[in-house]
Amino acid sequence: MTKHKQNKQAVAMIVGISGQDGAYLAKLLLDKGYEVWGTARDAQMATFNNLAKLGIKERVHSESMSLNDFRSVLQMVSKIAPDELYNLAGQSSVGLSFDQPVETLESISTGTLNLLEVIRFVGKPIRFYNAGSSECFGDTEDAPANESTPFHPQSPYAVAKAAAYWLVANYREAYGLYACSGMLFNHESPLRPERFVTRKIVSTACRIAHGSDEKLQLGAMNISRDWGWAPEYVEAMWRMLQLNVPEDFVIATGRTYCLEEFVAEAFMAVNLDWRDHVQNDPSLLRPSDILVGRADPTKAKEMLDWQAEYQMHDVVCMMIQAELKEL
């Protein structure tokens, strides 16, 4: 990995710092000696629970910023004057995007455009990372997706992420900005909200193991995904901004598992047979969904010297341990 050099203390701005990735990225950057700023729509009212869980809330500068308001973005970027700007904001649930398509499109694509336009306007050498998504590729079937795989988005969320990806590529090529997108496949942690199916599975399994008589309600069990460990993936984000030339990268473990395997692993970790505790709920099915998500992260290994250490089994075990500790 060819790195650029920085002599002064680097300043990082994380848009969407309150989420899973934002919190882990903030911790990583603080550990590397960065001055870290994070934004939220209303920083005075935001709890920043994830930052508190990681014990770093008091070490992060928080500011209010409306991502869909160009003037607000301009004021905040000008004030913070970051060396590196990480865009992790926007409506992050694929399922919810079917119920809130307008909010999803605006928060992701318009928000990304405002950030890019502000960086172009201020004219400073800000390095910009955009959170892309494996959802842009759609159903990969037996052909693992790499950086040149065509997009086939199958949800409003994926359409918004695809639009943001092309905006980043356009500003990089048209204006010479240091701007790149990380096409991250599924990555989990104890900081995931329970509306995400992985956390829902883990939380329900742990409650049942503690005596609850509830059933785990799931939609499609035959979907397959590449699941990784979120704290590892933020390291890849940082590495992408250390290259001399900006590049887009697929970030994944390179191994795909069926959701049924994830469920079985979670219940086995608490000494239960999942078949005794899971029910199918057709109301949880999405209007359209990706059946198989496969990834080829070869470029990240070769150019970033990054490779996932943890696989699905490890991710489930670490999430279960954290959940049991909370209970």
Q: Which residues contact 130 (CB under 8 A, 6 or more apart)?
A: 87, 112, 164, 165, 168, 179, 180, 181, 182
Contact 93, 195 (CB under 8 A): yes
* Kind of pairing between the strands at 249-251 and 216-218: unpaired
What phi, psi does 250 have (nearest 5°)?
A: -85, 125
Cα 202 from Cα 205, distance rounded (Å): 5
Cα 279 from Cα 215, distance rounded (Å): 6
Tell me how far apart the 2 most distant CA atoms of the chain are, in Å: 60
| DSSP calls for 50-79 | HHHHTT-GGGSEEEE--TT-HHHHHHHHHH
Neighbours of 103 (CB within 10 A): 16
Indicate which residues carry an active-site annotation: 133, 135, 157
| DSSP calls for 80-128 | H--SEEEE--S---HHHHHH-HHHHHIIIIIHHHHHHHHHHHH----EE
Cα 1 from Cα 11, distance rounded (Å): 21
CA angle 235, 295, 283 (to 5 degrees): 100
Cα 100 from Cα 91, distance rounded (Å): 9
Contact 227, 262 (CB under 8 A): yes
3-state secondary structure of 15: strand
